[in-house]
Structures are given as structure tokens and as C-alpha cells.
């Protein structure tokens, strides 16, 4: 059984807005899943539903085998949530606010554990500062410390690096990697494709309340390993010359550009031979250019495809 299991999860808000439209998702123990999606895609709704903060309108959700609705307390014990918005007690000392979070889960006092968490998050030196005296980045770390205080097995991070500087973003990625090494299952939402690329084991794309794709990052990256060679001809042609028919070239730009797709990881890309075949066919090359598909292209294609399907 997966650590987190969602089956046909639906959510319609009171105003009739359909925020989740039948989500199926399995998240395995110890993995990092990045949920990527544009504003309003349903990422926060999805996380909040798994964490029991938003009631699902249908379907089933379990965490560690516990039903999130019917066995809420047991499921919630396993979950740490780092919310998108900073919501902290401003006058409380850092260490107390983290201790308090642990207490709220009914866990016994454990100063050694709290010290370990604060040290890992580089907050130990600030432990006696009131929260309001911390920088925005430090406050985010306190949110993580609070979420870890009751030793959750599954950690949800809702846009952990929205609006933070590059340095803090990299720190966050390290913190996430360290948690994974400790066996924590991590689900994070993000707008940043490079963030998903940097830290996720699997990447899910969500738009308009639907999961459009969930795939191992490695296999996604393989698909991204394809490159396009764009060959600009001195004179436009009407058709691809017969001698080049086997090459599966595409003609674009009113016959001015020949496009050749190839795999950058392949032993032989066939580029050198292609160039000599072009010259044998009497085609003069004016310029060449290459283009690599990115996760962003895949993402944009998926979203556009869904919009077409919705419109149909």
C-alpha cells in the first residue's frame, strides 16, 4: 500500500467551483513528489484535502492506511504541513513555538529532538528570539521546524520557496534532501519547474483540478533529452527530397526550414551523415540552430491540450 492514496477525489467549493475533478494519486514511502501547476490549478486544495483541512466532496484518501475523513486523528499524526502563508505567533520565542506545536499533537516533551530540528534548520542561534524579529526566510524555517516537531512521516510543503531569494531556495532544497535521507515522504507544490527538476523523484502536473501527468523525473528527463535541429535552407523547397525520405524530416516556415528530431543521448545522432545527404540532394544550408525541449514545453503542451479537450 502506498503511503498516500487518493482515489477519485473531488471537491466542489460552496460557490459551486469545482476545484478537484477526480484525482487519483499514489505516493510511495520515502519519495519526493513535486506537484507542478499554474495559479488556481488546485494544488493547495489538494494538499489541504489530504491534510484534512478541506472536506473532500467525494472519493477516498488514506495516509499510512488511515482514512483521512473517518480516521482523521491517526492520519493527521503522520502528517506535517508547511503552509504557504506564514502564520506564526509573533511574540513567542522560536523554541517555544516549536515546542508548542509538538505539544498540540499530544507528544511528550523532547528537548533533544527540538534542539536537533532547530540545529538542522540553522535556527538554534535564534532559538530565544521572538518570531517577529526574524527575517522572512527564517520565518519559513520556523514553519518547517513546527511541521517537523511531532516527527511526521509525510511532509507537505505548499510552495516552500515562493518569493524567496536564490540562496534560501537552495537551502530549502538541501533541507528537503536531508529529510528524504531520513525516510520522510515529501510532497511539495511549486510553480517553479526548475525546483521540480532539482529535487523531485516524481513530478505531477495538475491543472484545473485534474492530474494531467505523474511520471518519474528520470523518464521525463529522457523525453526531454530530445533535441531539434533546425536547418535553414538558402532556397525554400516544396517537399522534402525523396533521397531524405527515411529521415522523417519536417518542413516548416514555407519550406525554408527542415526540422530533424534526434536523441542527444543516442550513440549516433546521424547529424554528420544528414549534412552530407543534404548536400548530395543539392540543398544549400544557410544556417543551423538547435532547440532542446524542456520540462516547460511539456508542461505548456499538456495544459494547452487539456484546454483544447475542455473546449471540445
Binding residues (CB under 6 A) for ligand ATP: these are 13, 15, 17, 19, 37, 39-45
C-alpha cell recorded at residue 226: 530530445
The residue to which cell 499533537 is assigned = 105
Phi-psi region of 254 (alpha: psi -120 to 50; beta: other; left: phi over 0): left
Sign of torsion, CA 136 139 143 148?
positive
> E strand or H helix at 239, and its extent?
none
Hey, how many other C-beta atoms are within 10 angstroms of the C-beta on 207?
Answer: 23
CA distance 28 to 5: 9
Q: Identify whether the C-beta of residue 249 lies closer than 8 Å to the C-beta of residue 261.
A: no
The residue to which cell 493527521 is assigned = 76
Q: Identify whether the C-beta of residue 257 lies closer than 8 Å to the C-beta of residue 233.
A: yes
In the sheet with 32-36, reading across from the earlier edge strand, the strands are: 79-82, 154-158, 185-190, 32-36, 202-207, 210-216
Amino acid at each position: 500500500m502506498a503511503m498516500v492514496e487518493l482515489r477519485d477525489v473531488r471537491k466542489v467549493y460552496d460557490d459551486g467551483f469545482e476545484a478537484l475533478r477526480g484525482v487519483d494519486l499514489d505516493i510511495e514511502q520515502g519519495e519526493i513528489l513535486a506537484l507542478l501547476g499554474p495559479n488556481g490549478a488546485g494544488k493547495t486544495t489538494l494538499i489541504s484535502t489530504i491534510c484534512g483541512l478541506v472536506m473532500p466532496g467525494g472519493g477516498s484518501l488514506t495516509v499510512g492506511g488511515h482514512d483521512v475523513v473517518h480516521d482523521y486523528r491517526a492520519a493527521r499524526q503522520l502528517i506535517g504541513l508547511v503552509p504557504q502563508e506564514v502564520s506564526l505567533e509573533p511574540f513567542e520565542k522560536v523554541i517555544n513555538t516549536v515546542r508548542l506545536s509538538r505539544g498540540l499533537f499530544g507528544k511528550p516533551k523532547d528537548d533533544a529532538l527540538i534542539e536537533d530540528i532547530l540545529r538542522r534548520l540553522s535556527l538554534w542561534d535564534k532559538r530565544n528570539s521572538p518570531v517577529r524579529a526574524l527575517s522572512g526566510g527564517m520565518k519559513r524555517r520556523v514553519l518547517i521546524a513546527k511541521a517537523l516537531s511531532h516527527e511526521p512521516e509525510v511532509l507537505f510543503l505548499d510552495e516552500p520557496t515562493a518569493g524567496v531569494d536564490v540562496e534560501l531556495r537552495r537551502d530549502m532544497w538541501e533541507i528537503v534532501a536531508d529529510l528524504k535521507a531520513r525516510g520522510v515522504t515529501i510532497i511539495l507544490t511549486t510553480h517553479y519547474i526548475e525546483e521540480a527538476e532539482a529535487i523531485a523523484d516524481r513530478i505531477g502536473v495538475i491543472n484545473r483540478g485534474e492530474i494531467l501527468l505523474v511520471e518519474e523525473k528520470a523518464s521525463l528527463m529522457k523525453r526531454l533529452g530530445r533535441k531539434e535541429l533546425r536547418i535553414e535552407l538558402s532556397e525554400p523547397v516544396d517537399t522534402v527530397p525523396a533521397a531524405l525520405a527515411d529521415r522523417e524530416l519536417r518542413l516548416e516556415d514555407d519550406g525554408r526550414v527542415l526540422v530533424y528530431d534526434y536523441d542527444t543521448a543516442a550513440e549516433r545522432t546521424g547529424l554528420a551523415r544528414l549534412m552530407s545527404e543534404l548536400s548530395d540532394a543539392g540543398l544549400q544550408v544557410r544556417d543551423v540552430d538547435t532547440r532542446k525541449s524542456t520540462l516547460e514545453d511539456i508542461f505548456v503542451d499538456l495544459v494547452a491540450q487539456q484546454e483544447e479537450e475542455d473546449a471540445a
